Amino acid sequence: MTYSLYLAHINDTHSHFEPSLIHFSLDIKQQQVKFDAYCGGYAAIETAVTKQKEIAEKQGDLSLFLHAGDSFQGSLYFSRFKGEANSHLLNLLQPDAMTIGNHEFDLGNTPVANFIEKVSFPVLAGNMDLSQEDQEKEAPLRPLKNLLRYDNQQAIAQYMLKPLADKQLAIFGVTIDQMAKIGCPDPDCIFLNAIKIVRATIAHLHAKGIVHIVVLSHLGHQGDFELAEQVDGISIIVGGHSHTLSGDFSEIGIASTELPQQFVNKTIILHAGKHAESIGLHKIEFDEQGYVTKQTGGTSFLISSTWQENAQEAPLERHQIEAIDRYIQNSPLFLRVGEDQYINQIINSQYRPAIAKMRKNIITQLKEPLQHTRLPTPELPQGSEIAPLVSEAFYHSANRDMPIDFALHNAGGVRVSLKSGPLSEADICGRLLPFEIHIVSYDIYGKDLYLALEGAIDNATNNGVVGTGDGSYPYCHNLRFTYQADKPQGSRLTTIEVKRDDAWQPLEKYEIYRGVSSAYTIAGKEGYDAILSSWRHFEHPISMSDAFMDFAKNLA
């Protein structure tokens, strides 16, 4: 007997509720032609999913709509509404389930708890152990009935079941088990090894005769590949985190897996890109043993009714315009759907006016452009011109609450250079510092601050370690250093000084200093391990972007 499922899925939507402008290219008569189009948005997703459900209903088949995590962050809508718009609009889309991504935890557990409490669908995090959670804190997760987490008694992920003809389809979720290294979960929120939990849960389901199994994952494409390799018996992995597009999008100049189907150990792995630009729409057929025997459909960009010429390119010729029209009309890489008017009306009436106000709110006029580079360059030997100003903003904001010695911020927390001219609230919150993360002050010994700085630079430059990227490079206020890459590890900072009482003083190993950084940096990520030795943390009631907005008023 064959079992059929109509599956729709999205991931890493990052608060992109409206269509995004995407740059495409197409080979027309051996010439690469560039064109742009607005794609996606929640109103288009709603239309696409509704049509898919209608087809499934006519066929008498099960339909599922899944979100593979990272709904938070990424746009002005999150900067302004801190997750309120996310829960409201996702309730309108009504996925059957969503897993939790790392960016859901950027502001700690409270916004996650508020989000889960407000949504009307299950949230799956089967490797999240809440057995040690403090039930007296502001917003504990454990009491939330729609959170399917780790089952401590059975040592498996909690799961949901859907009828699949005369069988049952099980769905459970896992997220990054190294959450504490890349997110900011509360210390009493523990993430267990995802592969071990999936293996135990599969064994439990098989013992109950359930072999049709979907794992909703926020492990990234490589993590899903490893999961499928190491665990037998998973029918489908629907994933997120790495912003991967399943399918071959090379014809239109978009990075993807370049594989129409990806089976690993008899498990099909599906990802649907990012930013609500695209959606996976599939018909899946299984055999009685739970293996996928046929998959039709795929991931498509939800394109609006029109496309436009790339503004930086020469005007297109008529035959090129016609070729692009034909390609969009006939290619499965594009899907034209209308937009749900009710969702558009909600966005336009309840949320967009606040965003428009942010765009009109001019914070300052910059006389000169400010360049941002993560690492120093020959053109910018001191490195970023903006990141030290962001650190200075942190310093002044925190110094209102208590005396601060220095500020420290990682280069990756600053996203763009700034042009001269008007600088708006939207520019700061949406482009320069788009991650809504609070600043935190802390006490630290000089010796640990030394190790944190050297570790961050080593990580950024891959000096003796396999780094995670140049975003860890440190930028400071009231703190300066000289780094020599050819010195032995532990002695590469040949000078390090702190400014106190308007005078530069050598850093003393056993002196206690009071610093301020983002909550992301003090979590000890990306080479900053030694900063975990800091103590007396105080979370200031201001985000990175709010601190910079206040400071930027004096930049004119």
CATH number at residue 531: 3.90.780.10
What percent of the chain stands above pLDDT 90? 89
Is residue 181's pLDDT more than 80? Answer: no
- Same domain (yes/no): 343, 374: no
- Same domain (yes/no): 169, 283: yes
Exposed (0-12), middle (13-18) or buried (19+): which is 191, by Cβ within 10 Å? buried
> Considering the chain, what is the average pLDDT of its residues?
95
Q: Which residues share a beta bridge with 306? A: none
Of the candidates 437, 308, 353, 304, the one whose C-alpha atom is nearest the C-alpha of residue 85 is: 353
pLDDT band, very low/low/confident/very high, at 98 (cuts 50, 70, 90): very high
- Same domain (yes/no): 156, 264: yes
Q: What is the pLDDT of residue 434?
A: 87
* 348: Cβ contacts below 8 Å, ≥ 6 apart: none
Q: What is the pLDDT of residue 260?
A: 78
- Same domain (yes/no): 299, 420: no
- Same domain (yes/no): 458, 349: no
**Tally of domains in the chain:** 2
Answer for the pair 127, 192: CB distance below 8 angstroms, yes or no: yes
Of 315, 333, 356, the position where a domain reaches its end is 356
Whole-prediction pTM: 0.89
- Same domain (yes/no): 331, 381: no
Of 356, 387, 422, the position where a domain reaches its end is 356
Is residue 70's pLDDT more than 70? Answer: yes
Of 298, 325, 356, the position where a domain reaches its end is 356
pLDDT band, very low/low/confident/very high, at 107 (cuts 50, 70, 90): confident
Q: What's the average model confidence in pLDDT over 416-431? A: 94
- Same domain (yes/no): 312, 389: no
Is residue 556's pLDDT more than 70? Answer: no
- Same domain (yes/no): 287, 331: yes
- Same domain (yes/no): 255, 379: no
- Same domain (yes/no): 383, 472: yes
Q: What's the average model confidence in pLDDT over 286-301? A: 96
DSSP state of 532: G
pLDDT digits over 239-254, tens only? 999 999 999 999 999 9
Q: What is the pLDDT of residue 436?
A: 84
Please give the residue that has the higher pLDDT: either 49 or 314: 49
Residue whose tokens read 């692009």: 324
pLDDT digits over 336-371, tens only? 999 999 999 999 999 999 999 999 999 999 999 999
Domain region containing 226: 3-356
